[in-house]
Amino acid sequence: MTAELEGKVGLVTGGTSGIGRETAVLFAKAGAKVVVAGRRDKEGQETIEVVRAAGGDGLFVKTDVSKGSEVEALVQKTAEKFGRLDVAFNNAGIEGVWSPIARQSEQDFDRTIAINLKGVWLCLKYEIRQMLKQGTGGAIVNMSSTLGLVGAAGAAAYAASKHGVIGLTKAAALETARHGIRINAVSPAVIETSMSERLFSAPQVHKVVLAQHPIGRFGTSKEIAEAVVWMCSDRASFMTGQSLVLDGGFLAGPTSSS
- pLDDT for 171-197, tens place per residue? 999 999 999 999 999 999 988 766 656
- Could you give the C-alpha distances from 67 to 39, 102, 129, in angstroms and in order? 12, 28, 17
Question: Residue 9: which pLDDT band, with cuts at 50, 70 and 90?
Answer: very high
Q: Which residues contact 72 (CB under 8 A, 6 or more apart)?
A: 126
d(CA 130, CA 197): 36
Is 126 an annotated catalytic residue? Answer: no
pLDDT of residue 190: 86
Residue 257: pLDDT above 60? no
Question: Residue 201: which pLDDT band, with cuts at 50, 70 and 90?
Answer: low
Contact between 217 and 210 under an 8 Å Cβ cutoff? The reply is yes
pLDDT of residue 241: 98
Tell me, letter by letter, the H, E, C secondary structure of 156-218.
HHHHHHHHHHHHHHHHHHHHHHHHCEEEEEEEECCECCHHHHHHHCCHHHHHHHHHCCCCCCC
pLDDT of residue 3: 81
Interval 38-97: pLDDT, tens? 999 999 999 999 999 999 999 999 999 999 999 999 999 999 999 999 999 999 999 889
Q: Model's pTM, two decimal places?
A: 0.93
pLDDT of residue 258: 39
Interval 129-186: pLDDT, tens? 999 999 999 999 999 999 999 999 999 999 999 999 999 999 999 999 999 999 999 9
Residue 221: pLDDT above 70? yes
d(CA 105, CA 109): 6
Which spans in the chain are helix H?
18-29, 41-53, 68-82, 106-113, 119-134, 156-176, 194-200, 203-211, 221-232
Is 162 an annotated catalytic residue? Answer: yes
Q: Which of 17, 66, 144, 221 is catalytic?
A: 144
Q: In Å, how far from its chain's centre is CA 138?
A: 16
Q: Which of 161, 162, 233, 243 is catalytic?
A: 162
Q: Which of 17, 158, 196, 243 is catalytic?
A: 158
Count other C-beta atoms under 10 Å from residue 234's C-beta.
10
Q: Where are the domains of the chain?
A: 9-246
**Helix, coil or strand: residue 62:** strand
What superfamily does domain 9-246 belong to in CATH?
NAD(P)-binding Rossmann-like Domain (3.40.50.720)
**Helix, coil or strand: residue 244:** strand
d(CA 207, CA 209): 6
From 86, 253, 90, 87, select the one nearest 162 (Cα to Cα): 90
pLDDT of residue 218: 85
Question: Among 35-44, 95-104, 105-114, 185-194, which stretch is predicted with the lowest mean pLDDT?
Answer: 185-194
- Could you give the C-alpha distances from 232 to 42, 184, 213, 241, in angstroms and in order? 27, 9, 27, 13
